[in-house]
Structure 1
Amino acid sequence: MSDKFLCVLIIVLSQSVWGQSQERIAINGKIASNTNDLEGVYVVNAQTEVMATTSGDGAFSIMAKAGDTLVFSSIQFKESRVLLTTENFSDLNFTVRLNMVMHHLQEVIVRNYSGINAVSLGIIPGDQKKYTQAERKLHTATALNPTANAGLMAGGSVSADPLFNFLSGRTAMLKKEVAVEKKELFMKLLEKMFSMDHFVNRLKIPAEYVKGFEYYAVDNDKFTVILNSDNKTATEFLLGELAVKYKEILAIENK
């Protein structure tokens, strides 16, 4: 009995001595997670404090031996500890899976910055006239520029472009563009305020004549003033009067 106990004791002591004298070798592995950002994760041997970092694909190599503990640490991952076994050193696909750290927001504040524009930022004056595209073309073509020829004559002179534009008919053409643009804007405003159903069922305008009635309405200066005031009640009242007149015109034309 004592001989058997002695043999077991010798074997245990032998393995212990062998384990303590075992040299550390490089162990190669990779980390894996639910992200492609695997670079820069610290790999630390807790026994020797030797440190390595992972590459872009998560690969690492560090000196260790069976029984050592590897600590994986990073800002984006939860700390993980792995106790190495003999099999890990012969495993060509030694992989350590890491879990990402989930950061919970305590509060989310949504601000409305729709009021920010060139005027509120002080880039342009608040009382500056705003031009549409057609109005800007007309203004450019007709505006007098007293500095256009400054330096050629004492005190400068006035640009002749407005005169040329007037004689060539360009000014008249641009005025027509402005008028057409205004009508289109009023048409969009009218269609936004009233649906097709209102024109057909409420005003009794035949569906095929609704577009013509809209043009007829925006040709009326009194109506466009009220329409532009955004007073729907007054606009609807005058629109009803115009509808009566428009249907009378249709009745005469269709005789």
Structure 2
Amino acid sequence: MLVLLVFQGALAQESPSKDLRGKVLANGEDVTGVVVRNATSKRATITDAEGNFTIPVKVNDTLVFLAVQFKTKKLPVTRLIYNTSFVNVPLEPFVNELQEVVVQPFDLTGDLSKDAEKLELPQDVSAEALGLPNARQKIPTQSERKLQQATYGKFHLGMILTPPLDPIINAISGRTKMLKERVAVDRKYAQTQRVQQSIVDSLFIDTLKIPKERIADFMYFCEADPNFDGVVNSGDQLRVWQFMIDKSEAYRENNGLE
């Protein structure tokens, strides 16, 4: 009889995973892209433009809500929350108080609406403003220019400035192959930089648990994964974020950061 009671008690504590639907509320603040992480199962998602989210949970899991503009909030998944069909989660704005700034030496009042009228902005002389035909043309990198010269020779105003044999010599010597590899490395590095710049440092530190001084090394660790290109090029932010969470766990384990 005692064994049966213990077994029934264990079943009562165990609960299957279910998708919990909810919405973050923030008194008019932008609620898009708030990270909702299940600290117990390590699963995560982000809110849509209306603040809605769906995430798998079990009883006694803990949800953590993270965003730069809000204070971090933890929500224990009690049985009451688990049994509900929808949960509203209010978030508090994060206010970073700055030290006093003196603006008087520059004849400014501190009122942007007034000070903006005093500013003399330089005339826009960009290619787009001037309507030039090359306004939207991508500027090649140094490696891309060298590869173009090694492959096709140097051109200027339609005239060949290098002998036609140069591209053949470059191909035979391996210079063209070397430059292609360099271009690929540069593009991969630029791709990694774009991913890193799209994630604020606080998410690396608080959510992924990566020390600030090791963020660049962690991004190189992600870049070395053969699946990195496919995940990033998918354009699926949630898929990218889940990839970063998975890689952060492996990185912390490999580097003794747990």
Class of the TM-score when normalised by the shorter of the 2 chains: 0.3 to 0.5
Q: Which has the higher contact order (CA 8 A, sep 6+)?
A: 2
TM-score between the two structures when normalised by the length of structure 1: 0.40
TM-score between the two structures when normalised by the length of structure 2: 0.40
